[in-house]
Structure 1
Amino acid sequence: MTPESDDHAPEPPAANPYARTRVLDAFTVVEAAGEIDLATADFLAEHLAAATATARPDVLVDLRRVEFFDCSGLRVLCRADSRAKERGGRLRVVTDDPRLHRLLRASGLWARFTPLPSIPRVR
């Protein structure tokens, strides 16, 4: 048995009602769904922890299926973003929801998480 290197991601956690992970082209996509709040943010956090565990992670957090998102979700995003940057990577959010846009602006996190309207295509 060999130890895992930083270049290989651990197995993503099992999908749950609030988050699932998939690899798409060069990105690790963590898709969130439903209500992300104090009671459910840890389900998203475990997926983001695994996604940011590699060297130079490129993570997209797809929030397009989220119905509610509060400061607990923002805290999870900030922690995951910090982990990604510490490893030379990046974390971006995907949403076109005006409510999430307002939340990011009101929280002062718009510049940190300027949302993409859709998942970018790699050519």
Structure 2
Amino acid sequence: MRPEPRQESAPLTRHLRVREDRGHTVLEFHGEIDIAAAAELAPQLDRVTDRPGARIVIDLRNIEFFDCSGLRLLYRARTRVLEHGGTLRLVCTHPLTLRVLRVTGLTRLLPALPTLEAALAQPETTPGPW
């Protein structure tokens, strides 16, 4: 069976590009993810995470800055996806962002993967309560 082709799309905001890849919705965050960016991203993220059984990958490889507003976005996205029986994967390689994720304990709930390929190739699992 051939993998589904990637469907490219235009950026929705200067901080977000959304595309479909192998049955997953990939959300690429770009630039500085602060309170202003979070306000821009939240409606788009809510729209994507509201679908039953959504398979979401959030890709943080193109961010330059990530604060507590970004953490709230990730936690909210994870909660919404699980409530709708979906899955959420996170791709992150930036050392400072990884440190923030570890220090806050978010990596226990949402482990960071090193590549988009790793996130797309992960087998589906039954979501736990948290």
State whether residues 20 and 47 of structure 1, in contact with CA within 8 Å, keep that contact through their aligned partners in structure 2: no
Runs of 4+ in 1 over 4 A off after TM superposition: none
**Aligned counterpart for 2:112 among listed residues 97, 107, 115:** 115
Aligned residues with identical type, % of pairs: 41
CA distance in 2, matches of 1:108, 1:49: 23
Give the Cα–Cα distance (whole angstroms) in 2 for the partners of residues 97 and 63 of structure 1.
8
For the residue of structure 1 that corresponds to 2:108, the secondary structure is coil
The count of residues paired between Structure 1 and Structure 2 equals: 111
Q: Which runs of 5+ in 1 are unaligned?
A: 1-11
Counterpart of 1:63 in structure 2 is 60
Q: Distance in 2 between matches of 1:116 and 1:85?
A: 19
Name whichever structure is richer in helix by fraction: 2
Is 1:29 matched up with 2:37? no
State the TM-score, normalizing by the size of structure 1: 0.83
Residue correspondence of structure 1 range 92-103 to structure 2 within 5 A: 92-103=89-100
Residue 70 of structure 2: aligned partner: 73
* Unaligned stretches of 5+ residues in structure 2: 1-8, 122-130
Cα deviation, 1:79-123, whole Å, max 9, x if unaligned, reads: 11101000101212111111111001111111112111111355x
Bigger relative contact order (CA 8 A; separation at least 6): 1
Moved more, 38-47 or 52-61: 38-47
RMSD (Å), alpha carbons: 1.8
